[in-house]
Amino acid sequence: MEVQTCEHPACSCQVKDGQKFCTDGCEAASRDVAKNDLCKCGHASCGSKS
């Protein structure tokens, strides 16, 4: 079984089958990665570094 992960380059959250991004915020951020190099999904595993 293949694990799908979020397409945002800085995000490694798992996504559900058929989805590309873990959250809408992550999808929005991925449209402009130059400005959003950290995803804003709010998951503890991403972007938790201050």
List contacts with Zn ion (CB under 5 A): 6, 8, 11, 13, 22, 26, 39, 41, 43, 46
Least separation, in Å, of the C-beta of 31 and Zn ion? Answer: 13
Amino acid at residue number 38: L
Least separation, in Å, of the C-beta of 10 and Zn ion? Answer: 7
Nearer to Zn ion (CB atom), residue 36 or residue 46: 46
Least separation, in Å, of the C-beta of 8 and Zn ion? Answer: 5
d(CA 8, CA 41) in angstroms, rounded, equals 10
Instruction: Please name the residues in contact with 35: beta carbons below 8 A apart, sequence gap of 6 or more.
Output: none
Helices (H) and strands (E) in the chain, counts: 1, 0
